[in-house]
Structures are given as C-alpha cells and as structure tokens.
Chains A and B, each alone.
Chain A
C-alpha cells in the first residue's frame, strides 16, 4: 500500500509539473475571465438585473472548460507515454500495470481537479467583484464537480486503452456533453411496460452519467443547500462507477503489449 502511494505521488508530481509548464491552464483561465467579463459588460449599457445571466455564462464557461480540460488531460496520460516511448523507462521500474493505471488516474484527477478549483475560485472572485454573491450551495457544486472529474478521468483513461487518442477524445466529449440526453430513456421507460421498461431502465443505469455531477443551474438560481446524503450517494456512485471503469481498463492493460 505504501509503495502504491509512493508510486502515485511520484507520477502525480511529474504530471502536475508537466501541466503547469504546458500552459494549457493559463489559456483556459484567460478565456473564462474574458467570457465572464464580457457577460458583465452589459452593465456598461445600463442594463440592470442581469445577475442570473452573468452567473449562467460564468458557470457554463467553467463547466465546458473543465470538461474539455479533463478529457484532454486524462486522454493523454497513457497514449502520450506510449507515443513518445517514455512508457518503457516507466514500466522498466518495479511497478505493476495496475499501479501505473492508478497513478495515471490520480495524476489526471489531481491535475484536472486543480484546474477546476482555480477556475471556480477565479470566477467566485470575479463575480464578487461585480457585486454578484453566491450562496453556500456553491460549495456543494464544487464538491460534486470534483467527484465528476474523478469519475470522468476513470472513464477517459479506460477508453484510451481501447481507442485511438482522437477517437477517445471525440467519444468522451460526446458522452460527457451528451449524457444529459440519456434522461429521455428514463422518460421512455415510464411509457413502456414489462420487459421493454426493464431494458430501458437497465440501459439508463449502465450508460455513463456525467450530468449527475452538475448542479451549476442550482447555483445560478440560488437554490438552498441540497441534503448532504444526496452528495454522499453521488460520492458512492462516483467511486463504484469509477472503480468499474478502471477495472475494465486494467483487464485490457494487464496483457497489452507496450509499444
């Protein structure tokens, strides 16, 4: 266990250093600030009462940027090591493939989580400076989003072991942004009976649901805190579903030829 922690920490440190030096984060940060400032510029024209609009733009920007960043960061963890052949000296060390997979997931989660935290803090500060306060549900939004990032990283890393990098990024973005559409299945299940309803319910349960981890609209419309057990249940879903994704990835990776 200690050894796994040491391996994960070493991989995470290197991964974070790489991300900071790649400068992806700075571009995203500048874009988010520009979008939020752009939305708030309506005040210049004397239009008042647009707090909800400005918040909506800001949280949509955070959501989109975070999802894209998470997919890109997670998708490059293992394929990039293979492409530039740095996987050889990594796997030449006394580490198992399971430990490498776990380490890469932790790296992607920490890096994407840090990017999201920075984006959320900057937006919080920016909105406060514009005189738009946020309710405590913002804390629940951040926690839930972090769970979603961990879950999304597990899915993308696993898909990266089965698909080409381009196919993985495309499919992951479709699943992440399109997961809200799967709710239609649940509606359809209500209309159907017997076996059809069971199948639709099963399909709904099996399909990945990144939309579960987004409560940005509740922040925008100043909802009160959600019951904490709901967050606990979501945490459980993220852990079980994320672990299942990583298990599927490990089953492939443990016998895969490297390089």
Chain B
C-alpha cells in the first residue's frame, strides 16, 4: 500500500500584478508503506509547501495529494499521521505534559492510555524531568523534543517530519536517529525533509531531490552507495545541474529522467566548492545499517 501519493501537484501563490508563483510545479512521487524517504532540496525548493499540502494546511492549486488513499484534506487521513513542523513552537503557558495531553485528546486518546503514552514518550525524548516546567522556560532543543514527542503520539503509521533535527544538539541528534530506528522497527513509514545530509544518509532508504518545485532526482541510497563520493557531493552537483537545466529552459521531465535513469553523478562540473565528504560518506555498510 502507498502511504503517500502525490500526483501532478501544483501549489501556486497569487501575487499582485505578477503571474502566480509556483512553489510546487507538477510534482509526482510515491512513498510506500514502511519506507524511510528523505525529501531534499535547497531553501525555497518547495519542500515545506509540499509538506503543507500533504498535511492539508495548503489546498493544492491542481493535482492531488493522498495519504493512505485518502485525500490529504480529509481529517480522517491525519488519524494515521504524526507531524513535526519545521519550527516547533508550543504554547508558552503550558507544560510539556499538558501540551501532549492537549494533542493526545485532539487525536482521540484519553484516560490511562493517554497518560501512559505521554509519560513513555517524555521518557523516550529525555524530557521526563521537565514534564511540569512551562514551555516558555525550555530551550529550543527541549521544545524540539516536545515536538518529536507530540508527533509520535497515537503510534502513527506515517511520520512526516519537516527539518526534524533543527535545534538539536549532537546528542539529541543521535537520540533522534535511535528513536526513528525504533519507529522503523515498528513498521512506521517516515517521510522527512532535512538539510542534515549525514542524518539522511544514515537512516533513509530513498531520497527525493526537488528544485524550484520540480522533482529532479529520485534514488534508493543503495543505488548510490559506492558510485558517488558522498551524499553531500551528489546533492550539490544534482541541484547545480538541475538549476542549469531549468535556466536554459529544458523540459522538467527530461531533466528528471536524466537523473532518475542514471545513478551516476551528472556530467556537469560543479561550479561550487564541495565540502569534504567525510561526514556524509556513503558506504555499503552504512546503507545496510
């Protein structure tokens, strides 16, 4: 079964005296149940607009987005989804416990089941000692942990995470990876956007790269392993090539097929300096892990 289906999705924003700005432009992809998919792109590529549409926050201009076969705008679809927004802010006048209780009750949980889940999740994200401290007195990283805990409430079948590791310290990032691994073992599907390519390389099955709202590359990480120096290297060159192709007006589908058909890096020489590949090096062993 497909957890996510996006078909010829267009999200356009109206502008005064200018043609609408297409943040997402004819985007199509699927995520199968149980997969972990990284959704990559530079700032302004259209990742957050796509995620907003998947969550029903943004009505599509055309095309469609489906969650487990249901339209993304249908509230029932969200019964199966846990979501972590890019900037996790929670009511400053509530405690982490009260915040999770609110979201749990909105999810349809109640009583002892809810209490047990809240306590277990706060324990899992290492916030148990702060569960009765007001959110306004928590650090950004701690609030991100509250966000992660609320996303996991109700054991969702699909996790949609926008910039999941934003604000977390290295220990927090390691704990997050472990937590996501636990979710994977449970059979959850995970779809997440991130600029932390090391994190993507370590936990994803597949990556999607979008640029200017269009899908320009789609690969299983096992296909890339051993064929590119690092994910970071590959990402930069792909985006650069995609940018060049779009600048000269090449057909988006042709651009996409160029990258999808071949796992090898694009022939264009990168015009930007590449960072050392040490942190995001792809090896077979890492990919297998």
Contacts and interface: CB of A to CB of B under 8 A. Distances in A.
A94 B108 contact: yes
B102 interface: yes
B57 A94 contact: no
Contacts of B88: 85, 89
Contact of B89 (A86, A92, A94, A257): A86
A91 B147 contact: no
Interface band, chain B = 35 or more
B98 A88 contact: no
Interface stretch (B72-80, B121-129, B172-180, B230-238): B72-80
Interface string B105-122: 111101000000000000
A91 B91 contact: no
A32 B110 CA distance: 40
B87 A85 contact: yes
A86 B83 contact: no
Given A89-B150, A92-B81, A257 B58 contact: yes
Contacts of A84: 89, 91-92
B10 to A, nearest CB: 14
B91 A10 contact: no
B56 A10 contact: no
B94 A17 contact: yes
Nearest to B150: A89
Contacts of B89: 84-86
B110 A6 contact: yes
Interface in A1-39: 3, 6-7, 9-11, 13-14, 17-18, 21-22
Given A10-B105, A10-B106, A255-B59, A21 B134 contact: yes
A196 interface: no
Given A6-B110, A9-B105, A91-B57, A85 B85 contact: yes
Interface string A86-128: 1011111111100000000000000000000000000000000
Given A86-B90, A89-B150, A259 B52 contact: yes
Interface string A68-97: 000000000000000011101111111110
Contact of A14 (B57, B83, B94, B110): B94
B108 A18 contact: no
Nearest to A20: B93
B76 A10 contact: no
Given A17-B98, A96-B75, A89 B56 contact: no
B110 A92 contact: no
B83 A92 contact: yes
Contacts of B79: 94
Which one of B77, B88, B91 has the highest number of Cβ atoms from chain A below 10 Å of its Cβ?
B91
A9 B88 CA distance: 24
A13 B79 CA distance: 22
B103 interface: yes
A258 B150 contact: no
Nearest to A7: B106
A93 B105 CA distance: 9
B184 to A, nearest CB: 21
Which one of B52, B88, B106 has the highest number of Cβ atoms from chain A below 10 Å of its Cβ?
B106
B224 interface: no
Contacts of A3: 108
24 contacts: A3-B108, A6-B108, A6-B110, A9-B105, A10-B102, A10-B105, A14-B94, A18-B94, A21-B93, A21-B134, A84-B92, A85-B85, A85-B88, A85-B89, A86-B89, A86-B90, A89-B90, A92-B78, A93-B103, A94-B76, A94-B77, A94-B107, A94-B108, A257-B52
Given A21-B93, A257-B58, 14 more contacts: A7-B105, A10-B106, A11-B106, A13-B102, A14-B94, A86-B90, A89-B90, A89-B151, A90-B103, A90-B106, A93-B106, A94-B76, A95-B75, A96-B75
Going nearest first, the 6 A-B pairs with the smallest beta carbon separation are A10-B105, A92-B83, A88-B85, A93-B106, A258-B57, A94-B79
